[in-house]
Amino acid sequence: MPDRRAQRRKNTLRTAAAGLIVCLLAGIASSQTGNRSRDTRADSPEAEFHMARMIYRGLGGAGSRGFINPYWAIDYPMAEAHFLPALRRLTNLSVADDSRHLEVTDDRIFDYPFLFLQQVGHWHPSSQEAARLKEYLLRGGFLLVDDFHGEYDWSIFQSGMQRVLPDRTIVEIPEDDPLMHVFFDLDQRTQIPGLRHLRWGRGGQIVARMAGQPHWRGIYDDLGRLMVAINFNMDMGDAWEHADDPYYPGPMTALAYSLGVNYVIYAMTH
């Protein structure tokens, strides 16, 4: 058993390094994809895997690199411009070049089995939206939630999910869950910071100041399939977005790539 665990750690290091190399290559391509217009009228996915972002109503927004987006698109377009080419290179999946942006009440949502939802401290689903998201999840859809921090954000998100799945409990994802081993072996639970959480330490090193401890949480169906995966007190999308930023720690981007690949492969195979 110790030998097996040691080999697994070696494999993890190798794959993380591969992810870092890919993120640097993807960064080179970002200038070609960063200004792509968003086509919300297309009817069907453009590839085997076509990520969808959930549009939701809400005031305000933020961004970086000159992009000011609503909260649901906080890391767009650079997160997709970096991560999707890396996903294509690391797997055998046919991957669309960009994400599709859809409201959950849009009938096309059922054509996209992978739904990305960010900044849920600003998410307040209506009764109609909650009912449609419940239908989407129970019909086999997968929801990935990312980039929210602190107990206030958690209370907003938890309230929204109780409207969606009132009979389901949010739990911690265990270390032996297939999600953590479906492609990369992610044995280390490492917090992924957003760029805004980074500071220069006294010794000249970059340190992260987060709103709390990281949590990998989820909601399972009756058969044990993970329907909702939740990155709490983490910002995986920011690590994708800043893959080509020398200030952002390269190992964190590599980890975010590996985690993102696992989410995609899990969603496409479960």
Write the pLDDT tens digit of every residue in 33-70. 333 434 445 679 999 999 999 999 987 777 666 667 89
Quickly state the pLDDT bin for 208 (edges 50, 70, 90).
low
pLDDT for position 212? 75
pLDDT for position 198? 63
Distance CA 156, CA 123 (A): 7
pLDDT for position 22? 41
- Quick one: what percent of the chain has pLDDT higher than 90? 64
Q: What is the 3-state secondary structure (H, E, C) of the chain?
A: CHHHHHHHHHHHHHHHHHHHHHHHHHHHHHHHHCCCCCCCCCCCCCCCECCEEEECCCCCEECCCCCCEEHHHCCCCHHHHHHHHHHHHHCCCCECCCCEEEECCCHHHHHCCEEEEECHHHCCCCHHHHHHHHHHHHCCCEEEEECECHHHHHHHHHHHHHHHCCCCCCEECCCCCHHHCCCCCCCCCCCCCCHHHEEECCCCCEEECCCCCCEEEEEECCCCCEEEEEEECECHHHHHHCCCCCCCCHHHHHHHHHHHHHHHHHHHHC
pLDDT for position 203? 65
Query: Domain 2-269 has what CATH class?
Result: alpha beta
Helix/strand/coil for 240? helix
Distance CA 137, CA 165 (A): 9
pLDDT for position 190? 84
In this structure, of 27-31, 102-106, 220-224, 239-243, the range with the lowest mean pLDDT score is 27-31
Full-prediction pTM beyond 0.85?
A: no
Helix/strand/coil for 226? strand
pLDDT for position 250? 86
pLDDT of 4 > 50? The answer is no
Both tokens of residue 108? 């096309």
Span 66-100, pLDDT tens digits: 667 899 999 999 999 999 999 999 999 999 999 99
Residue 185 to residues 2, 109, 127, 135, 249: CA-CA distances in angstroms? Answer: 15, 30, 39, 31, 21
The torsion defined by the Cα of 181, 119, 252 and 182, in degrees rounded to 10, comes to 10
